[in-house]
Amino acid sequence: MNILLIYPKAPGVFWSMKHAMKLIGKKTVYPPLSLLTIATMLPSDWHKRLVDLNVQSLEENELIWADYVFLSGMYIHRTSMEDIIEKCNLAGVKVVGGGPFLTHEYENISGVDHFILNEAEITLPPFLSDLEAGCPKPVYTSSEFADVSQTPIPMWDLVNLDYYAEGLIQYSRGCPYQCDFCDVTSLFGRLPRTKTPEQVIAELESMGDLKKFRAIFFADDNLIGNKKHLKTTLLPALIEWRKTNGVTIPFRTQVTINLADDQELMDLMIEAGFKGIFIGIETPSVDSLIACKKKQNTKRDLIENVKHLQRSGFDIYAGFIVGFDTDTASIFQQQAEFIQESGIVVALVNILKAPPGTELRERMAREGRLFEGERNDISGSEGEIDFTPMMGEETLYIGFKEVVRYIYKPTHLYKRVLTFLTRYRAPEAVHLSGQSLLDDVGPFLKSVYYLGIIDSGRFYYWKLVLWTLLKRPKLFQLAMELWIVAYHYRKIYEDDPSFVLEEQYHEAQPPPLIDEEKILTPV
């Protein structure tokens, strides 16, 4: 049996990092972990190939060779997945599809012969048994959750890992929280399930020399969902593994803001090599946090929590949302002020959306507020709106645009980087180093050319170079990496298709929603 696994192409959104990749000499950020894991679960005597459309094109001879095509993806991959399915149908190749997007939307997708939904550890084996017996069903689904301690090591040899900026691994699935705009609990439940420390270390070692990566990303929706288990099992094992093997690669992951409440956990994570963390801060509005059921972000000083994490050695990326029902036009000023004061360099600002599988979507449907047709496709732009907002589309769109233009304006970005670098304290006892921008002359010179010569923010780039070399020279690499990532996000917002819709709002000519003179940046 010839099996072709195809990973769809990500559009030019936040996580594609396409503008940063061209500067650091990599083709994309992460390898396709899901399909590489699926490949290991298929019969060992089957012939397998993998095409990642983020690093290569799909050739006609690959489809001619294949008996079945397996594909998986998230909602952002919708357009690419539909294109793959169409090509397979034209070539007469049967399609087996799964992953988060198809789990939620399979009834609306045509051209897939067999849907392997929910968690493949449960639904793939019966499909394989039925296929061998000659009677495979169209849909395989389950309400059970998989025992991830039995999940096999990905088949890394199907891809060239040198193409990817970061390695990818998953320790846990599930999250104890119930944010109404998030589909994690509908997919994976509220009780975090974890792999064993031995599994995690075996997966890390199976990737070969980790120095080819800039970091390893733990693709957990909330790594600290079970703090006690994390503190007593995985983190001590990673600390010992690092010490025994001289491992220096930094780790990145996603956590909730209540990490700042647990000094022991912070210390263990730092010692285990965790440096970059993504946190869904969402909004400084307590009313909006309560309304969307993000209670873990309430009853706390979010700015002080961020400062504490930064001073403890964490580099924070954060998500922010505008457009909650309780938001007023003042939220845009509040968001811009919060982001500047926090010193969070990489701030991902979104308009609230109601994706499939969420409580928010169900409520919007009940209230008759969901858009239909193309306007309900949120697979691309961060600035798209998929339901009728309480504050009105015009106000929401213009306010969103003003926030992102403000925070990524080079002068404001520069001040925010300085705020972070001044506050950040790298752990002295833990040496972390992955593949560096400074390790390869070609990418380094390319980054200097794009950022320091032709980019509109070049003046502030050189100001940052000079300031860092004089004030915090040990953080020079970190400063350059932050500027590169911020450059990517600025370009993403500038290229965002929703920004070209500006003309539909020109008639009203509303006053600015952000007063820049009132925003102060601590340095």
User: CB burial class (10 A; 0-12, 13-18, 19+) of residue 298?
Assistant: exposed
The average pLDDT across 165-179 equals: 97
Cβ neighbours, 10 Å, residue 453: 10
Report residue 167: phi and psi, to 5°. Answer: -80, 165
Q: What average pLDDT does the chain have? A: 92
In whole angstroms, give the CA distance from residue 133 to residue 433. 51
pLDDT of 468 > 70? The answer is yes
Q: What is the pLDDT of residue 438?
A: 62
Pick left, alpha or beta for residue 272 (phi over 0 → left; psi -120 to 50 → alpha; otherwise beta).
Answer: alpha
pLDDT of 96 > 70? The answer is yes
Triad 466, 472, 473: Cα angle to 5°: 70
Q: What is the pLDDT of residue 13?
A: 67
In whole angstroms, give the CA distance from residue 125 to residue 122. 7
Q: What is the pLDDT of residues 102-112, one digit of tens each?
A: 999 999 999 99
158 within 8 A of 48, measured Cβ to Cβ = yes
- Read off the amino acid at residue 33: L
Q: What is the pLDDT of residues 428-442, one digit of tens each?
A: 767 777 666 666 677
pTM of this structure: 0.93
How many residues are present in the chain?
523
Q: What is the pLDDT of residue 500?
A: 47
- Read off the amino acid at residue 451: L
Domains of the chain, each with CATH number or no CATH:
2-140 (3.40.50.280)
pLDDT of 485 > 70? The answer is yes
Q: What is the pLDDT of residues 136-165, one digit of tens each?
A: 999 999 999 999 999 999 999 999 999 999
Q: What is the pLDDT of residue 450?
A: 94
In whole angstroms, give the CA distance from residue 281 to residue 519. 19
For residues 508 and 91, which has the higher predicted lDDT (pLDDT)?
A: 91
Q: What is the pLDDT of residues 336-394, one digit of tens each?
A: 999 999 999 999 999 999 999 999 999 999 999 999 876 666 665 667 889 999 999 99
393 within 8 A of 317, measured Cβ to Cβ = no
Pairing of strands 172-173, 193-194: antiparallel
Q: What is the pLDDT of residues 113-136, one digit of tens each?
A: 999 999 999 999 999 999 999 999
Q: What is the pLDDT of residue 381?
A: 63
- Helices of type H across 25-119: 33-41, 60-65, 78-91, 100-105
